[in-house]
Amino acid sequence: MSAKQLEQAAQATKTAFVFPGQGSQKVGMLAELAEQFSGIRDTFAEASEAVGFDLWQIAQMGEGLDQTEFTQPVLLTASIALWRVWLELGGVAPKYMAGHSLGEYSALVAAGALSLGDAVKLVNLRGKLMQTAVPQGVGAMAAILGLDDAKVIELCAQATAAGEGSVEAANYNAQGQVVVAGNKERVEAVMALAKENGGKAIALPVSVPSHCSLMKPAAEQFATALEQTAIEMPRIPVLQNVGAKAAADVSELRQALTEQLYESVQWTKTLQFLQDEGVEYIVECGPGNVLANMAKRLPNIEKALPLDTQSRLEDALNTVLVAEGKIA
């Protein structure tokens, strides 16, 4: 359905779409829009059938929503439901797409590289493998604010050297905002060091330390599932988290998805690339506005627009269509 609409959509020259990762879920997401657009429930039904449990129920009632094996397929489905509504309303095909962590899978579905059914099965498995790789309470993540990337890397090395286990930079989200991940005690050591060095540190409420070497066992098992999944080259370039660039071929794309489990998310570089390519409008396609809030602080971004309510969707559609010269 959306493949044909994507082919018919007008091509944008200064708009990029970004897809959020875990942390953007909230109970009751898209309920308001679902009353207006039947396609949202249809998308959830299609994904639920593929994965074998009711994703809409989890999204609306919240039971299991914060368990990563459920969070991931729910968020991906919510993003694709919004993407389909965007196309249905005559939205443009963006110049680039990118997704933060799990959001990379949403971007690949939207760009026609993966089917929705295959993607929800993959991210459900990704969640299970991530959860079993590190027993509950062993790993942790924290946001380090107000220090530059190099300083955070230095503090991670210092904290790792001071005891058992390790801690690494997991997400480079923006200047002065780096998330670290690893063994709980090492993460706590970095938090203390950050405060001593004039930074701030906030523990994140996550069940799994993503994007660090503790995820390597999960990545090895996940690679097998990826190999067995049909993947095509995206119809719109998708900037991947590993390397902050679009893959040259499908094997490179698969490799980057495997590495993404234990390598850091290069979000700062991704947004820099978009700006260098003349992107001025960022549309966040998913629940919430975390990525839009990060993007709107950037010097060359005119507007960063979330889509997850009726008024936000209308505002984004109008703003982008005017900016791209599709309506006066």
As a whole number of angstroms, the distance between CA 129 and CA 121 comes to 12
Burial (CB count within 10 angstroms: exposed 0-12, middle 13-18, buried 19+), residue 311: exposed
User: Considering 166, 210, 211, 264, which one is annotated as catalytic?
Assistant: 211
Measured in degrees and rounded to the nearest 5, phi and psi for residue 121 equal -65, -40
Closest-CA residue to 107 (of 91, 124, 126, 93): 93
As a whole number of angstroms, the distance between CA 191 and CA 185 comes to 10
Whether residue 101 lies in the annotated active site: yes
User: Considering 48, 101, 166, 210, which one is annotated as catalytic?
Assistant: 101
Kind plus residue range of the DSSP H or E element containing 173? strand 167-174
Helix (H, G, I), strand (E, B) or coil at 118: helix
Measured in degrees and rounded to the nearest 5, phi and psi for residue 125 equal -65, -45
CB within 8 Å of 38: residues ≥ 6 apart: none
Q: 10 Å Cβ neighbour count for 24? A: 24
Structure-token match 């020259």, residue found: 13
Q: 10 Å Cβ neighbour count for 218? A: 24
DSSP string, 205-271: --SS--SSGGGHHHHHHHHHHHHTS-----SS-EE-TTTTSB-SSHHHHHHHHHHTTTSPEEHHHHH
Whether residue 100 lies in the annotated active site: no
Strand 15-19 versus strand 303-306 pairing type: unpaired
Please provide the size of the chain in residues: 328
As a whole number of angstroms, the distance between CA 35 and CA 295 comes to 29
Residues that are catalytic: 101, 211
